[in-house]
């Protein structure tokens, strides 16, 4: 199941030439993963943290295809590409809303970390896999 976010490129997202600064893409991708986790999987990240579990990024791969520019409207698609025993791999595609041209394609791997020990869980906590499997059954 995909989650869609709409993004407008503002001045703060660009360099002096009106081209999106590479770090802005990372902010948008982070927001997309948070929205997917909360809206699709139904998990509250703040509550997860209070309960002792974080989902930090441990690997990030991006392919820049076409620069986005000032005042463009973009669509960010976020989905789970793979649910491993100890990690979640998200696939994210950002494209121009008007032309459908792809700006970036990225994969992001997150693991579950115990906030008390700062160590990675050997397996994703059951509540995460249950939430994913429940949504996968609905698709």
State pLDDT tens for residues 67-78. 999 999 999 999
pLDDT-derived band at 100 (thresholds 50, 70, 90) equals very high
SS3 136: helix
- Structural domains for the chain: 3-138 (3.10.129.10)
Q: What is the pLDDT of residue 133?
A: 87
Contact 93, 23 (CB under 8 A): no
Reported pTM: 0.92
Enzyme catalytic residues:
15
Q: pLDDT tens-digit profile of 19-62?
A: 999 999 999 999 999 999 999 999 999 999 999 999 999 999 99
- Please choose, from the candidates 44, 53, 65, 63, the residue with its C-alpha nearest in 3D space to the C-alpha of residue 110: 53
Q: What is the pLDDT of residue 9?
A: 98
Contact 43, 127 (CB under 8 A): yes
Tokens of 25: 């893409």
Q: Which residues pair with 113 in a beta bridge?
A: 54, 120
């Amino acid at each position: 199941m995909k989650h869609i976010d709409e993004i407008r490129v503002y001045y703060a997202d660009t360099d002096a030439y009106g081209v999106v600064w590479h770090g802005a893409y990372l902010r948008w991708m982070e927001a997309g993963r948070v929205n997917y986790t909360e809206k699709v999987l139904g998990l509250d990240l703040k509550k997860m943290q209070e309960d002792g579990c974080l989902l930090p990024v441990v690997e990030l791969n991006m392919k820049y295809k076409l620069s986005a520019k000032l005042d463009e409207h973009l669509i960010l698609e976020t989905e789970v590409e793979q649910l491993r025993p100890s990690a979640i791999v998200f696939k994210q595609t950002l494209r121009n809303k008007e032309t459908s041209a792809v700006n970036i394609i990225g994969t992001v791997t997150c693991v579950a970390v115990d906030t008390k020990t700062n160590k990675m869980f050997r397996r994703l906590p059951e509540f995460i896999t249950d939430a994913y499997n429940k949504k996968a059954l609905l698709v």
